Copies of this chain bind each other. A is one copy, B any other.
Amino acid sequence: MIQDECADDLKLKWERLQQIMQKTFTDGCLLSVDVNLYYTTGRIYNGYFYLPAEGAPWFFVKRPDGLLGEQVEYIRKPEQIAEIFAAKGLKMPEKLLLEADELPYNEYVRLLTVFKPRETGNATALMRSVRMLKTPWEIGQFRISALRHDQTYAGIPALYRPGMTDLEFQYEIEHLMRRNGSIGLFRTFGANMDIFQGSILAGDNAETPSPFDFALGGGGSGPFAPIGANGTKLEEGMAVMVDMAGNYTAYLTDMTRTFSIGKLPEPAYRAHQVSLDIQQEAERISRPGTPCADLYKLAAGMADKAGLSPYFMGTRQQAKFVGHGIGIQINELPVFTPRSTDVLQAGMVFALEPKFVIPGSGAVGIENSFLVTDTGIEKITRAKEDIINLL
């Protein structure tokens, strides 16, 4: 069941979860959502992971056949978990955490009927807060993703051919991503966040509002996929923002670079430089204890000082954040909003993405992934940061 290479990492994660459960008088936590199973067991399966506040976890597996290990039990339905507890003389949890922000209503209610806990709590909230602080193994996975992400971005200029549309350009980048080891899947938290491998924004498509809670929008390839590239023909004078997934391991890095078709009007370069300046200042002030809201205020303040507030994080619809935690999902904690109460802590990994949309040119700016260290922050995505002319 548990692969040797990540056994120590899993034990560390279980300990962190159990410490919080003990402090909050919680008896057990039941997980079944893909990202939480991957986090706690190192694999995705169809079934449940049960972690008691003390002692070893249980693995209740529906599929696949053939998993072996301590406390691995095969079941067809969750009702059998209660039978197994009874047969083994295990105490049923009085306070049980369930994934209240992820499990469908009917599934949650079914589990309540199985466990009949006296009290429930939100396993989604627990998992998101524990997953916020990465383990050494996870940080290693980010570093692998970051290197391959850099490698893909270095190959982007060679993929451009005059006359392409943004979508055609994206197809070539996706192809290169896969050949560089992209796992394809791009996991997000929350409803209706359908995005495929990332986003390319060319010219004024960057102004189009999207339904999703990503930094920028774009019309997308149709009303069934309303985000990113929309078939815009790449023409001289356009900025082309590439924000494609760093999904080379299960841990996603996030990186945006700006390209241009020929020379852009001067305001686009000026705004891009403000993004770089914001990043530099953020790197200077960030350390454990820095409020995440301060980074938003820093960015918004520098945008304002440069007279660029109307273009900061969009025009017709402006995102109200300038960064976000990353992990197995692209939008983990913390969030970098004006009202965030989070502070930086060593072990957080986050993306900072000060961006501007300049009407007539398109989106410019930068995004990188950072690790919070004991003394500051370390940039782990390292592709060249200037606007790169594709012509």
Contact = CB atoms under 8 A, between A and B. Distances in A.
Interface of A: 3, 32-34, 37-38, 42-47, 62-66, 98, 100-109, 122, 124, 168, 171, 174-175, 178-179, 183-185, 187, 191-192, 194, 196-197, 208-213, 217, 221-226, 249-250, 316-317, 328
A63 B184 contact: no
Nearest to A209: B64
Q: What is the count of identical protomers in the complex?
A: 2
Nearest to A171: B178
Given A45-B211, A184-B196, 11 more contacts: A32-B191, A34-B194, A38-B224, A63-B212, A64-B208, A65-B316, A100-B106, A105-B108, A184-B197, A185-B194, A185-B224
Contacts of A316: 65-66
A302 to B, nearest CB: 25
Nearest to A168: B179
Given A44-B194, A63-B212, A192-B33, A221 B183 contact: yes
Given A66-B316, A226-B43, A107 B211 contact: no
Contact of A44 (B63, B183, B209, B211): B211
21 contacts: A33-B192, A38-B223, A44-B192, A44-B223, A44-B224, A45-B211, A46-B192, A62-B211, A63-B210, A64-B209, A64-B211, A65-B209, A65-B317, A66-B317, A101-B105, A104-B124, A105-B109, A106-B124, A183-B225, A184-B197, A185-B224
Contacts of A47: 211
A33 B225 contact: no
Contacts of A124: 104, 106
Q: Which 5 A-B pairs have the closest CB atoms?
A: A184-B196, A64-B209, A224-B250, A43-B223, A105-B108
A37 B192 CA distance: 10
A178 B174 contact: yes
Contacts of A224: 38, 43-44, 183, 185, 249-250, 328
A178 B167 CA distance: 9
A223 B42 contact: yes
Nearest to A125: B106
Contacts of A250: 222, 224
Contacts of A225: 44, 183-185
Contacts of A3: 223
Nearest to A184: B196
A64 B217 contact: yes
Nearest to A32: B191
Contact of A104 (B100, B223, B226): B100
Contacts of A42: 223
A194 B328 CA distance: 13
B317 A64 contact: yes
A350 to B, nearest CB: 21
Contacts of A192: 32-34, 37, 44-46
A38 B225 CA distance: 10
A185 B196 contact: yes
A112 to B, nearest CB: 9
A210 B64 contact: yes
A226 B106 contact: no
